Amino acid sequence: MAKGQFLWLNLRFWRRQRNAIAAAIAFYTCLPIPVTWTLEFEGIAKLAPFVGIFLGGLLGLVDWGFGALGMPVLTRSALIVGLAIALTGGLHLDGAIDTADGLAVPDPQKRLAAMQDSLVGAFGTMAAVMVLLLKTVALSELVGDRALVLMAVAGWGRWGQVVAIVRYPYLKASGKGAIHKASIESAVALIPGAIALLGLSLLQLWLGGDRWLVGVGMAFGGSAIAILTPAWFNRQLGGHTGDTYGAVVEWTEALLLCLLTALAAASSP
């Protein structure tokens, strides 16, 4: 192969990677993407954990800024939870709300229809309140390691989404989630995100001192919750939809944040 051809292929490869990353950011967040970039949406779900890590890092940076300004921890925790919703356009929270409304229907055959209803029901409202309350309270009681914890929580939440895509059937013929299921079939898609998230745990163990238990919880608790949450939704519905993908993200984040806050408290002198 000629040197010029090799360089052209290499440039083309990295351009495709950039386009895929840009597509993942455009799909999963409200962050602006240059209009001149081509977006390649095929297979972007495998990048979701990396988007989560990025968002968690961004939230951690903003949280650090609030702390430097002397903002009380409860206030800034509520602002961080709200900012997380704003950065994603409420994409995942909307799925958690619709999923809760669907699961509230006694007849399993009518649950999907209830999830497609644009009106928010009582159970969806309660689910949203519960998720936001758990996140805000747990984050407000976390004194140290907030940035790394936010990165791990957002990353494992989206890794759980990839588990749902790879492991379980998709229940609708179309929808936002259908493109993910159609383009990702192999469990190999789980490996890159898992490696990155385990790397965060190792970083926490290296930096943590007395907080080594948090690092262990990131790895074992994060992976366990991210696996069990989509399994539970599959048991209730017999598969997944785009709404349940969002519910997996929200509930994995909330439960893992509670776990890591508890571990941080247990490891404090």
State pLDDT tens for residues 175-207.
666 677 767 767 888 999 999 999 999 998 888
**Summary mean pLDDT of the chain:** 87
Those residues whose C-beta lies under 8 Å from the C-beta of residue 210, and which sit 6 or more positions away, are 267, 268, 269
- How much is the average pLDDT of 120-146? 92
Phi, psi of 104 (to 5 degrees): -75, -15
Under the banding of pLDDT at 50, 70 and 90, the label for residue 13 is: low
Contact status, residue 93 vs residue 128, Cβ threshold 8 Å? yes
For residue 53, give the nearest of 71, 29, 74, 86 by alpha carbon. Answer: 29
Tokens (6 digits) for 63? 């949280």
Q: Which residues pair with 170 in a beta bridge?
A: 240
Nearest in space to 179 (alpha carbons), one of 29, 44, 19: 44
pLDDT at 38: 77
Q: What is the pTM of this model?
A: 0.91
Handedness of CA 211, 159, 73, 259 (dihedral sign): negative
| 84-111 residue pLDDT tens | 999 999 999 999 999 999 898 888 778 8
